Amino acid sequence: MITIKTNRQYRPTLTWEDLTLKEQRGFDFTNKEGSSYFRYKKWVYTLEDFMRTNCNESLNKWDGYYGDSFFSGILVKYSNCGDAVMVGTYYS
């Protein structure tokens, strides 16, 4: 069984320019300007790291997931306009 926790609030997606210099140093890849980011629990995530959730029925209401361990991770759901994401955590 998978447990999901979220406060159902949307967080704005950010561009490279929205990140602080310290946050930018945490990313080392070439497509910096074309990526979208968001802040969650004192961390910055890039949406490029998230996989589609169509592989698990329990996660079908979410658009993507990022596994931080075999049993847990972060979920995202895009807003209707696509410029914000709802964020949640899952664990089993």
Contact 27, 43 (CB under 8 A): no
- Average pLDDT, rounded, for the chain: 89
Q: Can you tell me whether residue 50 is helix, strand or coil?
A: coil
Note the pLDDT tens digit of each residue in 6-54: 999 999 999 999 999 999 888 876 567 788 999 999 999 999 889 887 7
Cα(63)–Cα(25) distance, integer angstroms: 27
In this model, does residue 89 exceed pLDDT 70? yes
Contact 65, 54 (CB under 8 A): no
Cα(8)–Cα(85) distance, integer angstroms: 10
Question: Between 57 and 84, whose confidence is greater?
Answer: 84
Q: What is the per-residue pLDDT for 18? A: 94
Note the pLDDT tens digit of each residue in 49-76: 898 877 666 677 899 999 989 899 999 9
